[in-house]
A and B are shown apart, each in its own frame.
Chain A
Amino acid sequence: MQIELKIRRYDPERDEKPHWESYLVDASPMDRVLDLLHRVKYEQDATLTFRRSCGHGICGSDAMMINRRNRLACKIRVDQLGKKRIEVEPLPGLPVIKDLVVDMEGFFDHYRSVMPFLVAGEAVPERERLQSADDRARYDDTTKCILCGACTSSCPSFWAKESYVGPAAIVNAHRFIFDTRDTAADERLEILADRDGVWRCRTIFNCTDACPRGIKITQAILEVSSAIIDRQA
C-alpha cells in the first residue's frame, strides 16, 4: 500500500520557519515508521534528517511526534497507526536543530541535576552487596528508562516551564531513591522538593502514555512526592 508521510521540515541554513512536506512511500502493515523515514531519505530526499541508531527501541535515539503522540519511530508499526496518512514532527517543547532533530542538552542537564547515580557508603564489601528479590523489584520499573525524552517533551507542565526537571529526571531519581543500597535519598528528595521539582506534575499522565518502555511514570512521580511528604512529616 501507499502511505502519505507528512514530515515537519526545518533547515536552519535555508528556512525561516518549519514547514510541512509530503512524501508518498510504499509500505507494508508491519513496517515501522523508521522504515518509512529511511525510504524517504534513501530513495527520495537524502537531506531529510533524523537521529536513529539501534532500530529496535533500546537506544532512545528516534523519539519523535507521530500522529500527535510521542513515540519511537522504530517501535511503532504502520498498522498500529491505522491511517493512510502519517504525520511526523520533532519532539515538542525542545528547540529544533534540523528537521526531526531536537536539542537534547537541556533534557540531559535536568537528568544530571537529580544525582542519577548510586551513592553508597565507603565500606565496600569484598563480594556483592546482598539485596532481596523483593527489594530489587521495588525499583525495577524505573531501571528500564532509555532517556529518549518522549515523556518529558509530552508534559504540558514542562512546556509551560522548561526549568521543570520533568518526568524523565524524576524517573531516574526514583530508581535510586527506592534502591535499598543507596544512601542519598534525602538529598535527591530535597532537590525534587524544589519549586522546579515534583510539585509541577499535574498528573496529566501524558508521560505514562508516551513512554515506549511502558514505565508507570506518573506512579513513580507520585511515589517520590509521597516520600517527600513522609520525610517532612
Chain B
Amino acid sequence: MQHDYDAIIVGAGGAGLWAALELARAGVRAAVLTKLYPTRSHTGAAQGGVCAALGNLEEDHWEWHMFDTVKGGDYLVDQDAAEVLSREAIECVIELEHMGLPFNRTPEGKIDQRRFGGHTRNYGEAAVKRSCFAADRTGHMILQTLYQQCVKAGVRFFDEYHVVDLLFEGGDGGDGGRAAGAVAYRIADGELHTFRASAVLLATGGFGRMFRITSNAWSLTGDGVALTYRHGIPVEDMEFYQFHPTGLYGLGILLSEAARGEGGTLLNDAGERFMERYAPRLMELAPRDMVSRAIYLEIRDGRGIGGKDYVFLDVHHLGRELIEEKLPDITEFARIYLGVEPLREPVPITPTAHYAMGGIPTDLETRVVRDERNTIVPGLYAAGECACVSVHGANRLGTNSLVDLLVFGRRAGRRMVADVRGIGLPDLPLDPTAPVRAEIEAIRSSDGRESAARIRADLAASMMDNCSVFRDEALLRQAATDVAALRERYASVAVADKGGAFNTDLLEAREVGYLLDCAETTVFAAQRRTESRGAHYREDYPERNDTDFLAHSLVYPGPHGPTVRWKPVTITRFEPKPRVY
C-alpha cells in the first residue's frame, strides 16, 4: 500500500513531535511513523530537567550555557551549533510553558530551576541553577505536552509502523540521491507500506541496547542511524558514547543527576566523598564522563562498597519534603527495583550506558550531510539523539539532550516547511519494497540456528567489557573481533515466529542487525581515535591531542568494511583549553 505526504517523520519522541507540530501548524501534509505509540517514546524517561539560561533564580546568560556545552564536550562541539542550542533553549522552554508544560514554580510563580552537572556561572566559576524541571519527570511532561499539542493540531500518526528502509531518487543517499520516502512494516499484520515524501525526518533516538548495562529502552536499537549508513551516508563521532554515572546497580535504570543537583553525594566504601579528589570545585556536579571514570577508578582500587563493583548515591540528608516534591520517581525506582529506601539509606549505583553523542551528521538546519564539506543529502533530515549536529562533542552535559531535541526538532519542522514548498513529490523505484521484502523473507524462511536474542546478549556483553568507559587497543581489537564474529552468526539468524500478526520475534531480529552496524562503527572509530577526549578514554593514549584529533570522525560503509575521514571542528568563541573542574 502506498501513501503520499509532503513530509514524513520517523519517530515520535520529542524531536519528531515538535517537528510534526511545526508542519501541522503550517498546513503541510505530513505524517509521523513510530514503531511504538508516541507516548511510549524514550524522551519520556528523561528526568532531571532542561537547561535554559532564564536566570529566574540567579544571574545567567546563554553565552555561559554555550561555554559550558563547549567545555563539557571537551572542545569537540561545533561552536556555531552550541550557540544555536543555548540561545534557542530559552525560546523553546518558554514555548513549552505556553503549551502547558507543568514546570515546578518559584515562590513568584516563575519556572523553577536547579543545578546540574557541568552547568556553571561566569565561565566555570561555580554551579548555576539553569535546569528547568517538572519534579523528576521532565521528559515525561515534555513528551506528554508535545503529544497533546499534536492531538490538538490534528497531526496524522501511524502508530506501530516500524520503518525498515529508506527510499531515494536518482542514486543512493551517499551517492547524490534525493530522499523519496520510507518503507514501513505495519506491526499489527506485517504488511509493508510505502510512504512517498519530499522530506523525510529521522528522529529515531539512540542505540544504548548495544551495551549490557543501559538506561535505554528495549526499543533503542539505532534504526535510523543504521538505515542511513546502509544507504552510503556516514556516521559521525560514533566513538563518543556517554555512560551516566548513576544507574541502579546491576540494572542500569537511571537515577537522575538531579539527585546530585539537589545536593546528593557519592560515597565510596570508606564513606568518603571521593569526587573531592577528581573535581575539587564542582565535585559531584562535574561532567558525566569524569564522574563515571572516577567511580570505576574507585572500584578498581578496591574502594567499591564492601570491595564490590558499586558505590553509593546518598540523598537521605535532603529530607523527606524535598525528595517527595522534587525527586519522587527516582526514589521509587530505588525502592521497587533494589528494595532500598533512599529516605534512610544510600543507593547502590554504577555507570550505565546512556547517550550517543554521535550519529547521523547534519548541518544547523538538521539537513543530513554526507561528507566533511557538508554536502547535503536533499530531502533527508535528522534531529534528536540519532543526529550529530554536533552540539555535544565528546561528552554531553546533563539536560542538553532535551535541549537538543527541542531546539533541533523545532528547527527540523521549520526547515521542512520551507523546503517542501513548491517541489513535486519524488519518483519512486518500480518496486520500492523489493529490497527490504527480500531481507525480511530471508529471515522469516531461514533454517539457520542462530537466535537474535543470543546474538544481542553476546554483543552487549562484549561492548560492555571492551568498549565502554575505559578502552585500549587490545580491548578494542577484541571488540572488533567479537562484532565481526557476531555478524557472521547473524547471517544465519532464524525466527520461530513465522506469522504476520504482531511478530516481535522478526522485528527484534531486524533490530539486532541495526545494533551490529552501530557497534561496528563505534569500535572502528574508537580504534582510529588514538587520544582521550570526553567520553572516549584510551588508557594507552590518556592525553587529549588537539594537533591530530581536534576533528569529527566520519565513518563510511565500504565493500571491504568501514573507512574513516575527518571533518574539522567549528570554533567561533572559545579556543580549546585543558578541561579542569
Binding site for B on A (CB under 8 A): 11-14, 30, 32, 41-42, 45-47, 49-50, 52-61, 75, 77, 97-99, 101, 104, 108, 112, 115-120, 124, 126-133, 136, 139-140, 143-147, 176, 179, 181-182
Contacts and interface: CB of A to CB of B under 8 A. Distances in A.
Interface in B88-112: 93-94, 97-100, 102-111
B40 A13 contact: no
Given A52-B218, A53-B40, A147-B39, A118 B336 contact: no
B193 interface: no
Interface stretch (B133-141, B283-291, B359-367, B544-552): B133-141
A130 B141 CA distance: 18
B442 interface: no
Nearest to B56: A128
A44 B468 CA distance: 31
A181 B188 CA distance: 39
Contact of B504 (A49, A59, A108, A136): A49
Interface stretch (B146-154, B227-235, B267-275, B570-578): B146-154
7 contacts: A46-B497, A46-B505, A50-B504, A52-B218, A97-B188, A128-B98, A132-B109
A104 B94 contact: no
A30 to B, nearest CB: 7
B337 interface: yes
Interface of B: 36-37, 39-42, 44-45, 93-94, 97-100, 102-111, 134-135, 137, 140-141, 144-145, 148-149, 151-152, 188, 217-219, 253, 329, 333, 336-339, 451, 453-454, 457, 495-497, 499-505
Contacts of B457: 42
B100 A120 contact: yes
Contacts of A101: 502
Given A61-B40, A133-B107, A136-B105, A54 B496 contact: no
Contacts of B134: 143
A50 B102 CA distance: 32
A46 B495 contact: yes
A11 B98 contact: no
Among A59, A124, A139, chain B packs the most CB atoms within 10 A around the CB of A59
A46 B109 CA distance: 53
Contacts of B40: 53-54, 59-61
Given A46-B451, A47-B496, A143-B144, A116 B102 contact: no
Given A55-B217, A136-B105, A116 B100 contact: no
A130 B39 contact: no
A230 B336 CA distance: 40
A54 B42 contact: yes
B105 A77 contact: no
B336 A128 contact: no
B108 A130 contact: yes
B104 A136 contact: yes
B333 A12 contact: no
What DSSP secondary structure best describes chain A's contact surface? loop
Nearest to A99: B502
Contacts of B102: 136, 139-140, 143, 179
Nearest to A111: B151
A130 B110 contact: yes
Given A13-B500, A99-B502, 15 more contacts: A30-B339, A46-B497, A47-B499, A53-B217, A53-B218, A54-B44, A54-B218, A57-B333, A115-B152, A118-B145, A119-B152, A129-B98, A145-B144, A146-B44, A147-B39
Contacts of B499: 11, 13-14, 47
A146 B44 CA distance: 9
B352 to A, nearest CB: 11
A146 B105 contact: no
A129 B97 contact: yes
Nearest to A145: B144
Contacts of A179: 100, 102
Contact of A60 (B39, B93, B99, B333): B39
Given A53-B40, A97-B188, A133-B107, A46 B453 contact: yes
Nearest to B254: A56
Nearest to B145: A118
Given A47-B496, A117-B148, A129-B97, A146 B39 contact: yes
A104 B302 CA distance: 50
Contact of B217 (A30, A59, A98): A59
B151 A46 contact: no
A53 B219 contact: yes
Contacts of A46: 451, 453, 495-497, 505
A58 B502 contact: no
Contact of B42 (A53, A143, A144): A53
Contact of B109 (A104, A130, A145): A130
For the complex of A and B, the 10 pairs showing the least CB-CB separation, nearest first, are A118-B100, A130-B109, A117-B148, A42-B453, A46-B496, A117-B152, A128-B97, A47-B497, A59-B40, A98-B502
A50 B134 CA distance: 31
A83 to B, nearest CB: 18
B342 to A, nearest CB: 15
Nearest to A112: B151
A145 B333 CA distance: 16
B109 to A, nearest CB: 4
Contact of A133 (B45, B100, B105, B504): B105
B98 A124 contact: yes
Contacts of A182: 100
Contacts of A120: 98, 100
Nearest to B139: A58
Contacts of A55: 217-218, 253
Contacts of B110: 127-128, 130
Nearest to A129: B97
Nearest to A80: B336
A21 to B, nearest CB: 14
A140 B136 CA distance: 12
Given A47-B496, A116-B151, A56 B337 contact: yes
A128 B94 contact: yes
Among A14, A54, A108, chain B packs the most CB atoms within 10 A around the CB of A54
Contacts of B94: 126-128
B141 A143 contact: yes
Nearest to A75: B336
B45 A54 contact: yes
Nearest to B96: A128
A75 B145 CA distance: 24
B180 to A, nearest CB: 30
A146 B109 contact: no
A77 B339 CA distance: 10
A77 B505 CA distance: 25
A114 to B, nearest CB: 10
A181 B101 CA distance: 10
B332 to A, nearest CB: 8
B432 to A, nearest CB: 26
Contact of A54 (B37, B107, B149, B217): B217
